[in-house]
Amino acid sequence: MGDAAHVHSPAGGQGMNTGIVDAVVLGRMLAEVVTGNRPDAWLDRYGELRRPAAAEVIALASRLTAMATTRGAARQTLRNAMLSLVGALPPARHRVEMSLSGLARRDATRLAA
Ligand SMILES: Cc1cc2nc3c(=O)[nH]c(=O)nc-3n(C[C@H](O)[C@H](O)[C@H](O)COP(=O)(O)OP(=O)(O)OC[C@H]3O[C@@H](n4cnc5c(N)ncnc54)[C@H](O)[C@@H]3O)c2cc1C
């Protein structure tokens, strides 16, 4: 879990948050097993629950890094216009907020219990 499972650029500030959710999910799953509520095989679900979040965060960080390092005046102008548009459109802004805050990926903690 954490960076050992999904290291990526710090763009978007998601690494620590994602690692903390990894730990919460694994902690809950381990608690279910050690208290005898679930069989050992329950732990196999960990990858199922966390791999999509890791893939999403890595893809998001890659997109943000590509955007931040865009070269050329025309591309930079286009990028800035697109970011202004996203900021001005509430549904688009909400989607970005949910993704950057990690709230879009909160289901995994609920499913682990
Ligand atoms: C510039 C920058 C800004 C960032 N900003 C944010 C942010 O705003 N928000 C956010 O959520 N995340 C951010 N991150 C990411 C965040 O710092 C990492 O995702 C997080 O620290 C990963 O925690 P971790 O415990 O998985 O790994 P690490 O913090 O790398 O911890 C691993 C630990 O294991 C130790 N270790 C390694 N090998 C061994 C060994 N063989 N034996 C014993 N110990 C060992 C290491 O010394 C280290 O202390 C940022 C990262 C950078 C670089």
Total-model pTM? 0.85
The predicted-structure confidence for 45-74, as pLDDT tens digits, reads as follows: 999 989 988 998 999 999 999 999 999 999
Q: 2 with 23: CB under 8 angstroms?
A: yes
Cβ 14 under 6 angstroms from ligand 1: yes
Q: Which CATH number does the domain housing residue 79 bear?
A: 3.50.50.60
Instruction: Count how many domains the chain has.
Output: 1
Predicted pLDDT of residue 109? 64
The answer to whether residue 2 scores a pLDDT higher than 80 is yes
Predicted pLDDT of residue 88? 95
What domain range is 62 assigned to? 2-111
Q: What percent of the chain has pLDDT over 70?
A: 94
The answer to whether residue 112 scores a pLDDT higher than 80 is no
- Residue 10's H or E segment, with its range, is none
Gap from CA of 17 to ligand 1 centroid (Å)? 11
The answer to whether residue 105 scores a pLDDT higher than 80 is no
Nearest protein Cα to ligand 1, atom 27: 3
* DSSP-assigned letters across all residues of 29-71: HHHHHHTTSS-GGGGGHHHHHHHHHHHHHHHHHHHHHHHHT--
Predicted pLDDT of residue 101? 83
d(Cα 19, Cα 26) in Å, to the nearest integer?
11
* Neighbouring C-beta atoms of residue 6, cutoff 10 Å: 21
Q: Which atom from ligand 1 is nearest to the alpha carbon of 16?
A: 11
Helices then strands, each counted (H, E), the chain: 5, 0
The predicted-structure confidence for 29-45, as pLDDT tens digits, reads as follows: 999 999 999 999 999 99
